[in-house]
Amino acid sequence: MKKNFLNAFKISAAERKRYVLSNDKDFEVLSKCKYLEKSGLKAEDKILVRLIKSQLQDDWRSPLVKMLNALKRKYNLKP
User: According to the model, what pLDDT value does residue 37 have?
Assistant: 94
pLDDT at position 79 is 75
Instruction: Give the number of other Cβ atoms within 10 Å of residue 48's Cβ.
Output: 14
By residue count, the chain amounts to 79
Give residue 78's pLDDT: 86
Q: What is the pLDDT of residues 13-63, one digit of tens each?
A: 999 999 999 999 999 999 999 999 999 999 999 999 999 999 999 999 999
> Cα 14 to chain center, whole Å?
13
